[in-house]
Amino acid sequence: MSDDVLPVMRIGDTLLVTLQGDLDDAAVIRIEKRLTEEVARTGATGMLIDVSGLSAVDSFVAGVLARVVAMIRLLGAHAALVGIQPPVAIALVELGVPMGHLDTALNAKQGLALLQRLRRNDARAD
Amino acid sequence: MPTPPAGEQDLSRRLHDVEAMLDDVQAMLDAITDYAIVKLDLAGNVARWSRGAQALHGYSADEVLGRPVSTFYTDEDRAAGLADRELATARESGRFEFEGWRVRKDGQRFRAGVVLTPIRDKAGAITSFAKVVRDLTAEYRQAETLRRQRDEIMELSTPVIQVWDKVLTLPVIGTLDSTRAARLTEGLLVKIAETEAEVVIFDISGVPTVDTYVAQHLLRTVRAAALMGTVSIMCGVRPETAQAMVRLGIDLGQLRSRRTLRQALQLALTLLTEHADAAAGDTETIGPAGTG
């Protein structure tokens, strides 16, 4: 996966990134670099990571996703995973991959609503 | 010492014996009414027709002798050249077996179990084919009915009901074995994707006993649903179930529970309203007035 096939779309304050194909170590480093830079550059307060195009979501990929989410959070933005398909959800739970701390939504639309709720909770806390 | 009359006598007796044997074989063939027994020539045309064949296919011997075996096939099988493939397979592997639809003289379809084997001469060369056909329609229908009923029972036993816009209810009834449990999870997740549900209510009042397996499975389902962005609410937990779950050390995490389905639905609607409010807040921040 190279930079030009890592589409990042901007919707208001939110970035929507679509991950596709297989993730290898080199791809992971490129993704981490690109996404953190995009958040910093745009000042986005939220990011949706669409995983429906990934060929497999196993414990390795789940770990990668958790790391990306942690990086985005360190930059002061919220991140949520969208597009987890039924078989992937079942596999992740069967494998016992801990995903409970990650925010997830069915699709981009619900993801946007979820990010909005998270921002709102921030506002209340402030 | 043999004399001509004696030889003639011998010959006529042997002829008589052979005739008796042929009659016997014919009588035996005629007595077989549950199977159609047909002889085909090398080209696949009907060369001999039994009474059972007449009963099954509806044609008399006069009507079919010399006609191609594909006469009894469906249009699709005829178009697909099944007759030639059958003969070729029987020739090459010594046997062709098939179950499928065939057509009677009156146009009615029946489920046929077919076995086709080559007939060889003493030198081992194939001279013709023997075809035995059995009517499997009744068995087929019975198996169909059974299959359908099993599917229906499965469907009924793990229903997912959309009770409200974006709210699903899963009344879990009876004991959960691994097949049902897997089906329950899968059915629910597919329905979540389909309806874009944001809340799922698990009503477990119909589960007689919640053991470790059932509890773990329910929690796995809750986690999988959460990965698809759905909040789960449990209801109908009985006192003994509550005791058992805590004693089993099952971590419920953030799973919310309400006593009745009605209360669970109220909570679901409250959650949906909160979600909707957040989405509405979204438009406010974009709007010119702005909020801070």
Q: Is the pLDDT assigned to residue B127 strictly greater than 70?
A: yes
In whole angstroms, give the CA distance from residue B201 to residue B207: 15
Render pLDDT for A92-107 as a digit per residue (tens, 0 to 9). Answer: 888 887 777 789 999 9
Q: What is the pLDDT of residue A57?
A: 82
Q: Is the pLDDT assigned to residue A4 strictly greater than 60?
A: no
Q: Are B196 and A116 within 8 A, CB to CB?
A: no
In a domain, A68, yes or no: yes
In a domain, A116, yes or no: yes
Q: Are the CB atoms for B97 and B115 separated by under 8 Å?
A: yes
In a domain, A77, yes or no: yes
**A16: closest CA of chain B, how far (Å):** 16
Q: How many CB atoms lie within 10 A of CB B220?
A: 17
Does residue B227 sit at the A interface (CB-CB below 8 Å)? yes
Q: How many CB pairs under 8 A join A and B?
A: 70
The CATH number for A26's domain is: 3.30.750.24
Task: Sketch the domain layout of chain B as residue ranges.
Answer: 32-141, 158-281
Cα nearest neighbour of A108 on chain B = B229
Q: B32-141 belongs to which CATH class?
A: alpha beta
Render pLDDT for A47-88 as a digit per residue (tens, 0 to 9). Answer: 999 999 888 888 888 888 888 888 888 888 899 999 999 988
Question: What is the Cα Rg of chain B in Å?
Answer: 35
Q: For residue B161, what are its two tokens? A: 């009901």
Q: What is the pLDDT of residue B4?
A: 57
Does residue A120 sit at the B interface (CB-CB below 8 Å)? yes
Q: What is the pLDDT of residue B109?
A: 92
- Mutation test of the interface with chain A: which of B192, B227, B273, B274, choosing the one with the most A Cβ atoms within 10 A? B227
Burial A72-91 (b: 16+ CB within 10 A, else e): beebebbbbbbbbbbebbbb
**Which residue range is the domain that position A96 belongs to?**
3-120
Q: Is the pLDDT assigned to residue B1 strictly greater than 60?
A: no
> Cα B214–B229–B291 angle (5° rounding)?
145
The complex scores an ipTM of 0.74
- pLDDT averaged over every residue in chain A: 86
Torsion angle, alpha carbons of B279, B283, B286, B292, to 10: -70
- Looking at A10-105, list the stretches that DSSP marks H as alpha helix, in order from N- to C-terminal side: 25-42, 59-74, 86-95
In a domain, A100, yes or no: yes
In a domain, A125, yes or no: no
Mean local confidence (pLDDT), B155-171: 86
Instruction: List CB contacts of A123: < 8 A, sequence separation 6 or more.
Output: none
We find that the CATH architecture of domain B158-281 is 2-Layer Sandwich (3.30)
pLDDT grade for A2, boundaries at 50, 70 and 90: very low
**B283: closest CA of chain A, how far (Å):** 10
Q: What is the pLDDT of residue B286?
A: 41
**A86: closest CA of chain B, how far (Å):** 5
Mean local confidence (pLDDT), B39-67: 92
Instruction: List CB contacts of B115: < 8 A, sequence separation 6 or more.
Output: B95, B96, B97, B98, B131, B132
Contacts of A99 in chain B (CB under 8 A): 223, 226-227
In a domain, A126, yes or no: no
- pLDDT averaged over every residue in chain B: 86
Mean local confidence (pLDDT), B18-47: 91
Contacts of A100 in chain B (CB under 8 A): 223, 226, 253
Q: For residue B3, what are its two tokens? A: 């004399």
Q: Is the pLDDT assigned to residue B251 strictly greater than 80?
A: no
Contacts of A112 in chain B (CB under 8 A): 279, 282
Number of domains in chain A: 1
pLDDT grade for B244, boundaries at 50, 70 and 90: confident
Global pTM value: 0.58
Q: What is the pLDDT of residue B156?
A: 72
Q: Are the CB atoms for B228 and B191 separated by under 8 Å?
A: no
